[in-house]
């Protein structure tokens, strides 16, 4: 059975595809979550997370932009952007403890092999 962390990882991957301009992201979402064995409560969580991020993406991106520490939004890599979107959404729109959200974001960066961006991600999310 998949974990909540794996559900977040899948959502970040879907946001990466969304950012690349993937057509029909909703059907891709269902296929991808099924392929990753994200089911039951984790699927409900992943669906809610992804749909909430898409619904509020302009607000989320503006929140990221306000906290970029001298960088521009276009300088962010697509994985950094995806992980930040997950983190910002959870901090702003859910009751998940901020420390848990930040820790999960840092773990996602490790999952994607982006250890060099961990301090940056931590700083952006901590400044929210």
Length of the chain: 128
Identify the sign of the CA torsion 119, 121, 124, 128: negative
What's the pTM value of the predicted model, to 2 decimals? 0.95
* Domains of the chain by residue range: 4-126
* pLDDT digit string (tens) for the chain, length 128 residues: 789 999 999 999 999 999 998 778 888 999 999 999 999 999 999 999 999 999 999 999 999 999 997 888 889 999 999 999 999 999 999 999 999 999 999 999 999 999 999 999 999 999 98
Note whether 12 and 83 are within 8 A (CB).
yes
Superfamily of domain 4-126: NusB-like (1.10.940.10)
What pLDDT score was predicted for residue 27? 85
């Amino acid at each position: 059975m998949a974990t909540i962390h794996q559900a977040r990882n899948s959502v970040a991957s879907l946001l990466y595809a969304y950012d690349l301009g993937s057509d029909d992201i909703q059907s891709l979402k269902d296929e991808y979550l099924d392929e990753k064995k994200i089911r039951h409560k984790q699927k409900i969580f992943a669906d809610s997370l992804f749909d909430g991020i898409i619904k509020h993406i302009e607000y989320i991106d503006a929140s990221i932009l306000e906290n970029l520490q001298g960088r521009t939004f276009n300088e962010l890599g697509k994985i950094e952007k995806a992980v930040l979107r997950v983190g910002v959404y959870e901090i702003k729109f859910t009751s998940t403890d901020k420390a848990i959200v930040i820790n999960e974001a840092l773990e996602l960066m490790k999952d994607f092999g982006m250890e060099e961006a961990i301090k940056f991600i931590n700083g952006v999310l901590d400044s929210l």
